[in-house]
Amino acid sequence: MASHASTPTTPDTRANPDETIDVERDGGTHDGEPRPRHVMEAEKLPSRSAETSSAPATSTPTSTQSPTPTTAANQPHAEPEAQRTNVETFLIVLALCLALFLAALDMTIITTAIPTIAGTFDSSLGYVWIGSAYLLGNAAFVPTWGKISDIFGRKPVLISAVVIFWIGSLLCAVSNSMGMLIAARAVQGVGGGGTVVLPNICISDLFSMRKRGMYFGILGGVWAIASAVGPVLGGVFTSAVSWRWCFYINLPLSGVGILILIFVLKLHNPRTPMRQGLLAIDWAGSLLVIGGTLMFLFGLQFGGIQQPWNSPTVICLIVFGVVVVGLFVCYESMVAKYPIIPTSLFRHQTSIAAFSLAFLHAFTFMSGSYWLPLYFQAVSGATSLLSGVFLLPFVLSLSITSASVGIIIKRTGNYKIPIVSGLAVMTLGFGLLIGLGDDQNWAKIIVFQIIAGIGVGPNFQSPLIALQTNVEPRDIGSATASFGFLRQLGTSISVVAGGVIFNNQMQAQSAKLQRELGPQLASMFSGTRAAASVRIVSTLQGHDAAVVKNAYWNSLQTMYILFTCTAFLGFLTSFAVKQKRLSKDHTEHKTGLQSLKQRNEDHAASLSGKEAS
């Protein structure tokens, strides 16, 4: 382990492999052909000597002499990341932030452009599915990306994800129909799933538990900045050039990101043979979770709009979606050799709470960045550009809070207080959004957004820290991918659920709109047509404008009642999180098939030991 405080004189070949720092990087041996232990230990000696030359003479024994990790207090120079220069660390984090920035940007850059896009293709349903196609592809493939990176290594898989994202962006930019655009957004989302989860996994591989809070906070801040810049850029492109530039902008940024990752990111590369690696992927599990999620979301989308809720189509989609997800759980726990979501991750109270918070936090957060622009355009009469500007109080406050909480966790080691307090403030903030009204009170619009943003910020990274303290180091990759999957699933369902509520509420008000506006004008704002007709609102005057704005607001208000309830449920769940000490020690674990096989063997041995006792 990296917590040696004095230079060892003899390599200890009996050391646990999981307590050995892996110094193999790109260009190392092929998976399944590890170098002899004494050679690896000998290669470590110079760097350890340099690292510990200034260590106190009264230092504690080395970690290979004891299976118990030494404390950070006794091991001030224990972290292997100290072997990197500040410039190297900066460049590595920059590369990871850029990859995450691209994926996060595309979640929000189209929020201010969607009404224009839906109007261009004359497709009301596109308002929901332009966003949810990306989010669904993103969410469904997150756990698969995590497992693929366990097999083939983080760096090549992350680069592959960015390349797929680039291809999807190009297809979106040249789309000539709503169907093509939605399909291209799904491709983009598949690549985005990798660029969302792999930066977090790489941070876990690179830094100690205590430092991760700061770097996760930086990633959370980047996510929020992308959320802030996205709607503004989307508004600028839509108003000044074309909505297609919302996707063209990704092409040069993705290219730069790929180059930085190739030359800067240095992580263990197992060089797994392609055929063996592909055979090791849990394809059946991936198909089950993707298929189940798709059926469930399609059922929600069709219900009440295209089909009655009691129609066979809607019932079958929802029921079969739930059943297939249940089959996925059974398959992962009893059949899968290398499960993409190991059921062992859900054995501890804190882990279950952290996973729940990932879903609930994302479900609530997405409602702000995705649906508030519709409020600004329909009720406040803002253009696409201004609706992005009006969203800045929300996204900037959560960005600053996320980065600040990451630094606080690094300094104090406490993650539970930010989790609980953040969710309390988030519940308050989204509860206040219920009272925005249709009277354009700017004091309320700004202050309520800031409060909601301050509450959202702390829980981008804090639940992930809580989760990682309750899983074995070897399972952190799978745990982080599972956390990312539930977070992305939360954003996907949030967009669809919000759209279902909005469309059904607008449909419920159609009779009133016909009385007040007349059948022809009212038909423009009924059900699924309302979102695509938002630009028409600004052309209305007097009584007609007031009636339509009130209808939009009533629908959005019902939506935010739901999101306030999910925020409060998250607040209640947060009390199940237990605080643990965050270690400053760190061990980098190998990726590759050999590591996966060792994990399975250790797990089987653990179960045998429990049965014997």
Q: Give the pLDDT confidence of 374-390 residue by residue, as tens digits.
A: 899 888 888 777 887 88
Q: What's the distance, Cα to Cα, between the start and end of the chain in Å?
A: 30
Contacts of residue 340, Cβ cutoff 8 Å, sequence gap at least 6: 143, 144, 146, 147, 282, 285, 286, 289, 332, 478, 481
Give the domain-ending residue among 305, 337, 369: 337
**Burial level of 42, CB count in 10 A (0-12/13-18/19+)?**
exposed
One domain, residues 332 and 383? no
Contacts of residue 163, Cβ cutoff 8 Å, sequence gap at least 6: 191, 254, 258
Does some domain include residue 516?
yes
Q: For 117, left (φ over 0), alpha (ψ -120 to 50), or beta? A: alpha
Residue reference for tokens 């190998």:
590
Q: Residue 301: which domain range?
A: 283-337
pLDDT reported for residue 165 = 94
Residue 307 bridge partners (DSSP)? 303
Instruction: With CA atoms as reference, report the closest residue to 204 among 480, 593, 578, 590.
Output: 480
One domain, residues 202 and 301? no
One domain, residues 384 and 402? yes
Residues 476, 483: Cα–Cα separation, whole Å: 10
One domain, residues 278 and 288? no
Total structural domains in the chain? 2
Distances in Å between the alpha carbon of 532 and those of 162, 338, 514? 31, 45, 18
Does some domain include residue 255?
yes
Q: Is the whole-model pTM more than 0.85?
A: no
One domain, residues 317 and 447? no
Does some domain include residue 34?
no
One domain, residues 404 and 311? no
Does some domain include residue 81?
no
One domain, residues 276 and 182? yes
Does some domain include residue 39?
no
**Burial level of 210, CB count in 10 A (0-12/13-18/19+)?**
buried
Whether 145 and 483 have beta carbons less than 8 Å apart is answered as: no
pLDDT reported for residue 589 = 57
Does some domain include residue 407?
yes
Residues 131, 108: Cα–Cα separation, whole Å: 9
Question: What's the CATH code of the domain at 512?
Answer: 1.20.1250.20
One domain, residues 328 and 241? no
Scored b (16 or more CB within 10 A) or e, 69-85 reads: bbebeebebbbbbeeee
Distances in Å between the alpha carbon of 262 and those of 36, 91, 207, 589? 28, 12, 20, 21
Query: What are the residue ranges in the chain where pLDDT is below 70?
Result: 1-84, 124-128, 228, 268-269, 301, 304-306, 584-613
Give the domain-ending residue among 269, 302, 337: 337
pLDDT reported for residue 159 = 92
One domain, residues 302 and 261? no
Does some domain include residue 8?
no
Instruction: Compute how many other C-beta atoms are within 10 angstroms of the C-beta atom of residue 460.
Output: 29
Contacts of residue 516, Cβ cutoff 8 Å, sequence gap at least 6: 522, 543, 544, 547
Residues 415, 579: Cα–Cα separation, whole Å: 7
Whether 261 and 162 have beta carbons less than 8 Å apart is answered as: yes
One domain, residues 322 and 238? no
One domain, residues 290 and 399? no
Residue reference for tokens 């918070």:
357
Does some domain include residue 596?
no
One domain, residues 259 and 208? yes
Instruction: Compute how many other C-beta atoms are within 10 angstroms of the C-beta atom of residue 459.
Output: 30
**Burial level of 199, CB count in 10 A (0-12/13-18/19+)?**
buried
